[in-house]
Every structure is written in C-alpha cells, then in structure tokens.
Amino acid sequence: MRFLRRYAPSLVLFLFLGAGAGAQSYLVHPSQYKTLEGESAFSYPFSYSPTSATYRQMIFQQVHDNLSQAPLPLKGIAFRRDASVLYFWPAWSAVLELVVAHAPQGVNSQNMTKTFASNLGKDQTVVIAKKKIQFPPSVGKGAFPRPFVFNLVFDRGKVFLYKGGGRSLTWLLRVFDNDLHTTVGSYVSLDRAYYYQSSMSISGAYVPIGQGGFAPRQYRSMYSSFYPRLDKKSSPRMIVIDPYISAGPRGGKAVALLSRLRFRQGLPIGAGGGRLWLNPGTIFFVSSLVDLDYWGNSGKGLVGPGGKRVSLINLPDNPAIYGVHLFGQMVAVDTKTLSLYFPNACEVQLPYDPARTGGVPMGTTYYRGSVTRTTGYGPYKSQGLVVRFAW
C-alpha cells in the first residue's frame, strides 16, 4: 500500500502518456477544406494509360504555405476522391517514392518555379522509399467531402519535423507505375482546391441523390442537376444555382425547390415511380416555372428580355452562407394530364470565395511521362490537391 501511495501519481502519468503515444492527429490543408469540397477535380499524380507504362510515370510537386504555426512531427499525407465521381473504385496500387522538405528561404506557393529542386530545401527527406502502395476500394456515395482514404504513410521510423512558424512545406511524389488500367479502368479524380482571382465565377459542388421517375414517352429516368457558382461579374455579386432537368414530360413545365433537410429514403409520390427527397417542412425556396422543350429538357434558367437567360435561383453573396449544404429538387408537371413527376434530388454545397481568407495557399508543378525530369509544367499557383497531414 505504501508503494502504491508513493508511486501512484507517476504511474497514472505513465499510463496517460502511454495511451496517447499511439494517438494519431491530423491537419487538413488548406484548413477550410476540412469541411468544404474543393472547387475542382484533378486526375494526377496517378496517371491512367492502358497502353504506355511511360505515361503512367509522374513527378508531382506541391507547395503548402502557412501549414501550421506550431511544429509538427509529420508521419504521412492523404488524398480524397472528388465528390463529382460517383462510380465505385476497386482497390488499386502504385509504385512510388515520396520526398518532403521545407521550401527554401523565401520560396512559397506564389513564387515557386517549375524546377523541382528549386522548391526543395536542404532538409529534403525521402519519407517513403520506392515501393508499392496498395489503396483501398472506395465508393462515390454518401456525405461529401469524401473521407481521406488514399493514405501515404511514411516508412517505419520516418518522421519529418515541420518547424512551424507558418513556413512553406514542399512534397514531391514520384510515381513509377500504377495498375489503374487493370483495376479501376480509368483515371482516379482527386479533390482539388482551385482559385483564379481573375475568374468571373467560383464553383460550388453538388452530388445527385436517388433516381428519378419516368416521364411518358421517355426511355430513361428523369435526371436533375443543381450547379452552384458565385457570379463575380454581376452587380451586386450573387450566388447563383442553375438547376437543369432532362427526360421530363415533353412540353411540360418544372419548378425548382430548395430545402435545408432531406428524407433519408425518399417519399414515393407522383407519377412514374419518382420520390420526393426534400423535407417539405424545411423548403424555403420555390422558383418560377420554367418551360420544358419537346424532348423534356429545360434550359439552365428562365428566358428574359431579349432572349437572354436569367438564372432560376439567385442568393445574396453573403460569407455567412459560404460552403453551406442545401438540398435541391425539381418537380415537373405534364401540362396535358397535370401529373407530377419527380427526378433525383441533389445535395448542394454553396461556393466559397477563397479571396476572403487570402486565396488558396498552394501551388503545383508536375510532369507526366518521366520520373527523372528536372522541370515540370506550370507552375500552377493558388491550386492544389486537398491534403490531410498526419502527425
């Protein structure tokens, strides 16, 4: 008992530290994309080519600014699939090597060059020596952003000590080969943050929910999309959502709905086997009616004065709603029978303006078709793969 009383505090501390020693912490960069889908998709660094092993080779380099103010013992990086790709990916693999370094003094994502070596500091470290990495199967359904399932865990005993202070960090990935041509059968599209200050619009994201019903005289089910964007050229600036419907009732009309919540399974309703996915109690927007053409398709807006298209859904440019997730669904009516038809719904992520937080603090350069090339394309500033760092 005397022993326990004397050493209990130290024993508790030892057990606490021991339990936390294996704990894994993560940091997503840029930080806002922890909960935001990136503005675009990118098919590199894993290049697809069914016929040429050379074109499956890739050098891909990315610079991250202001990674962290605190020092971090980095142990791995990870990527996630882009939400716009919906089909299943079986397991696949790549033979690769990963190098990490602090960027040289004065080098960052906005002044990096296309010469790979010039963006790597003297502390460059091979954290994954050349080897085959197996990636798990993944699905294109469910909540988005998708999880970070494509992990590059540093070799046993390899830790890169990031010094903190917001210093720029560079990683360079050499891909010697991959088996996408025999497994997935196509490119793998990864989530990418993307911003051009001169661009007139900034994209949000959407993914379809469920399957639409069948309208009369149509050979396929109805399909609907809700494309969100921040229109920077309008005055005042507006967040615009362009809904579109295809294979609806020919010559009919349609209306777009927005809601805050959705049903998990959908409510069977209307003609043609469609479902209402929006929770009616949370619908907050109903658009004007839009005409469907002879084929049952709508344009991406109303026809205004002079034949100019006018967006169907316009929301104020308010940072308070940047990145907010909403749900949209169109409802079509056959004007001859007055029957209602329901296409699929969409989960919509409103766009986010990176300029509000200083842009996208990343840059990339890459080259396809070699692992020994010294220079790449670009460099491409204010864009890059969304990365999760493990430490």
- Determine the distance from the C-alpha atom of residue 136 to the mean position of all C-alpha atoms in its chain, rounded to a whole number: 18
The two structure tokens encoding residue 378: 């670009």
Long-range contacts of range 156-160, CB-CB < 8 Å, 24 or more positions apart? 158/75, 158/125, 158/127, 158/128, 159/73, 159/74, 159/75, 160/73, 160/74, 160/100, 160/125, 160/127
What is the pLDDT at residue 301? 53
Q: Return the bridge partners of 133, or none.
A: 94
The two structure tokens encoding residue 154: 């540093």
pLDDT higher than 60, residue 369: yes
Cβ pair 67, 77 in contact under 8 A: no
Cβ pair 362, 384 in contact under 8 A: yes
Distance, in Å, from the CA atom of 196 to the CA atom of 149, rounded to the nearest integer, reads 28
First and final C-alpha spacing in the chain: 40
In the predicted model, what is the mean pLDDT of the chain? 90
pLDDT higher than 50, residue 4: no
Distance, in Å, from the CA atom of 151 to the CA atom of 122, rounded to the nearest integer, reads 26
Q: Is the peptide bond before 145 cis (omega within 30 degrees of 0)?
A: yes
Average pLDDT of the residues in 344-352: 96
Cβ pair 188, 81 in contact under 8 A: yes
pLDDT higher than 80, residue 250: yes
Cβ pair 131, 152 in contact under 8 A: no
Percent of the chain with pLDDT over 90: 79
Please report which confidence band the pLDDT of residue 200 belongs to, taking 50, 70 and 90 as the band edges.
confident
Q: How distant, in Å, are the alpha carbons of 63, 122, 126 from that of 134?
A: 25, 30, 19
Distance, in Å, from the CA atom of 38 to the CA atom of 189, rounded to the nearest integer, reads 12
What is the pLDDT at residue 329? 96
Cβ pair 259, 225 in contact under 8 A: no
The two structure tokens encoding residue 148: 């970070």
Query: SS3 of 307, please?
Result: helix
Please report which confidence band the pLDDT of residue 3 belongs to, taking 50, 70 and 90 as the band edges.
very low
pTM score, two decimals? 0.88
pLDDT 10s digits, 28-39: 999 999 999 999
